[in-house]
Amino acid sequence: MSNAITPTLQASVICEDVRQEVNNMQSLIGILTVIPAEAVPAGVLKLCIWTRWSNGDGRYKQTARIVSPDGKTAVAEAAVEFELKGASSHATNVHFFAGLQFKEFGLYHVEVSLDGKLATRYPLALVQVKRGNNPQAAPQAANN
């Protein structure tokens, strides 16, 4: 695409939910860097990838993926087209993923591309936790 201005990715965040407030602002709920799970496959009811682009002119296609530890297999993928109309414009995109299954523990990656070119890539770890392994629970139990 030969645009006069290619947009800048201001932010990309993976979280549990994005809510549209009464005042039209968005609230990001449960920002993630790690997904704890007792066993695999691990089911996740809902994940969201929130992105904000600015300073662009033209029509674009954003693709967001969550890639498994093998670096090839997409656990989830979605795309959206959007338009920016000049240097002072911005676009906020949200991809909602429901009922995801993570088949192995390890380091997954979130990838966001613009018109097929990778814009950002960041880690999301699926880590094993044991039931009742809550460090804050032990002192409370001792006080009872």
Q: Give the C-alpha separation, 108 to 66, whole Å.
A: 7
pLDDT by residue (tens digit) across 99-116?
999 999 999 999 999 999
Contact at 8 Å (CB) between 47 and 100?
Answer: yes
pTM of the model: 0.85
Contact at 8 Å (CB) between 42 and 109?
Answer: no
Averaged pLDDT score across all residues of the chain: 90
Mean pLDDT within 50-71: 96
pLDDT by residue (tens digit) across 115-135?
999 999 999 999 999 987 554
Mean pLDDT within 7-22: 96
* Four-point Cα dihedral 67, 133, 40, 63, nearest 10: -20
* Four-point Cα dihedral 106, 112, 117, 120, nearest 10: -70
Q: Give the C-alpha separation, 51 to 47, whole Å.
A: 13
- Domain boundaries of the chain, sorted by first residue: 8-143
Contact at 8 Å (CB) between 66 and 10?
Answer: no
Domain 8-143 sits in CATH at 2.60.40.10
From 52-56, 95-99, 136-140, the region with the lowest mean pLDDT: 136-140
